[in-house]
Structure formats: structure tokens, C-alpha cells
């Protein structure tokens, strides 16, 4: 019997392992002393916007099904403030249905160019209709048509079927005004924990976790 091919990464090492604290001209500061997680997030995100080549707002979103089996996918962060992290999706998609049954989620944003990541966990609620309407109106017309045409996460026999559905919706809404579908909205993750991680030489990373207790945040530095 021929040997089964193996995909092994155990000997692969990152080229920056052991490098100093300078990252693309930035000097690593002791962010673990910052008492404000949202202020720190805004600072890090602004730096990611300047250095990350594409989609600094791309984040991995994890939800769980009824059996506790997790699902994870990349979505785009569209708003973030002290109320939470906002993304938009079809409410009948896998993540929409899972959030309806279990309104809790986790996320991570990873910025390779800065060797940083931010994690958060929390409870999830839908945004107000007016907020969802306002964001939907900023999307390209074809994206708005696609939100109507796509039966997200359902089986699809061919791409041609999808494109015909988009064309049909375009005939239904021939002008520039395309209203938001009732099955499409935004979700806000109100974090109960936020964790900031920064790469360190020889895997001696820096980590700090903020935990929401009442109306205040408590912070703890963590072993890497």
C-alpha cells in the first residue's frame, strides 16, 4: 500500500521569530498599562488601517449550533464603539440562526503586519432598524440586490441560478433605491471580555485581558 501523503508544519518557523520589538517602524509600547480597552482598540485599529494591506476590519466570528459545535467564518467589522462590535448578515444564514438560538459569540481580529490580535467574547443583539437601514443604503447597488437574491447557506445548484435571481431582483427594483430585506440586519457583540495580544521574540508575547464587571473594566496581564 502506498504511503499516505502527510501535511506537516511542525518544522516550519516564522521568519520574524526572535526579532526585536520594532514592527514596520513602530516601537512596541507597554500597552498592558492602558486601563481603557476601547481606547486601546481605537489606537490599534488606526495603526492597522495604516499598515494592513487589505481589510484591517476582517474578523473571525465564532458561533455555536444547538449541539454546542462551533462554527467560525470571516466577516467584516462595520462599527465599533463602547456598545460593541457590529457586523451585518442574513438572519437566515447559519450564523443568523445560531445567534437566534444562542445569542453569544466570540471574535478575533488579527493584523499580521503589526503582529497583533484582539479577541472579544460577549452577548449579541440586533441593531436598530434605522441603523441597519442607514448602513444598507451605503452598499453598492449590486450588493443590495445580492442581499435579496441570496438564500445564504442554502444549497445552490449553479452560479447561473444565483445570477438569474439577482437579475430578477434588479427588475423588481429597477432604480437606485433598493430597500433593506427584512431578513438582513446588523448584530452587535457587547463584549464581556476583550483581550489584546502582541507578538514577542521567541514566543514571549504580551497579553492583557479586560473583563467587564458591572460598569467598569478590570485588566489582568496574562502569561503568553
Residues serving a catalytic function are 203
189 is in an annotated binding site: no
135 is in an annotated binding site: yes
107 is in an annotated binding site: no
75 is in an annotated binding site: yes
User: 185: Cβ–Cβ under 8 A, 6 or more apart, which residues?
Assistant: 88, 89, 91, 126, 127, 129, 132
89 is in an annotated binding site: yes
197 is in an annotated binding site: yes
95 is in an annotated binding site: yes
153 is in an annotated binding site: yes
**CB-hemisphere CA count at 13 Å for 110?**
6
CB atoms within 10 A of CB 72: 14
Strands (E), the chain: 22-23, 26-27, 58-64, 70-76, 79-81, 84-90, 104-111, 116-126, 184-198, 206-213, 216-222
203 is in an annotated binding site: yes
Pairing label, strands 70-76, 216-222:
unpaired
Helix (H) or strand (E) holding 141: helix 141-149
Binding residues: 73-78, 88-89, 95, 117, 135, 139, 143, 152-153, 197, 203-205, 207
Residues flagged as binding site for FMN: 73-78, 88-89, 95, 117, 152-153, 197, 207
Q: Show binding-site residues for substrate.
A: 78, 135, 139, 143, 203-205
Amino acid at each position: 500500500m502506498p504511503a499516505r501523503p502527510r501535511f506537516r508544519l511542525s518544522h516550519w518557523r516564522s521568519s520574524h521569530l526572535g526579532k526585536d520589538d520594532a514592527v514596520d517602524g513602530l516601537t512596541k509600547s507597554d500597552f498592558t498599562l492602558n486601563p481603557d480597552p476601547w481606547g486601546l482598540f481605537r489606537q490599534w485599529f488606526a495603526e492597522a488601517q495604516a499598515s494592513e494591506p487589505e481589510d484591517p476590519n476582517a474578523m473571525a466570528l465564532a458561533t455555536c449550533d444547538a449541539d454546542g459545535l462551533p462554527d467560525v467564518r470571516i466577516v467584516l467589522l462595520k462599527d465599533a464603539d463602547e456598545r460593541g462590535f457590529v457586523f451585518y448578515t442574513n438572519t437566515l444564514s447559519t450564523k443568523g440562526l445560531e445567534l437566534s438560538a444562542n445569542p453569544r459569540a466570540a471574535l478575533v481580529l488579527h493584523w499580521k503586519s503589526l503582529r497583533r490580535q484582539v479577541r472579544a467574547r460577549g452577548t449579541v443583539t440586533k441593531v436598530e432598524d434605522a441603523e441597519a437601514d442607514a448602513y444598507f443604503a451605503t452598499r453598492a447597488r449590486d450588493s443590495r440586490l445580492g442581499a435579496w437574491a441570496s438564500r445564504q447557506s442554502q444549497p445552490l445548484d449553479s452560479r447561473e441560478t444565483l445570477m438569474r435571481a439577482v437579475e430578477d431582483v434588479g427588475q423588481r427594483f429597477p432604480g437606485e433605491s433598493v430597500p433593506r430585506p427584512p431578513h438582513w440586519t446588523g448584530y452587535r457583540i457587547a463584549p464581556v471580555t476583550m483581550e489584546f495580544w502582541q507578538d514577542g521574540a521567541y514566543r514571549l508575547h504580551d497579553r492583557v485581558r479586560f473583563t467587564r464587571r458591572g460598569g467598569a473594566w478590570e485588566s489582568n496581564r496574562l502569561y503568553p
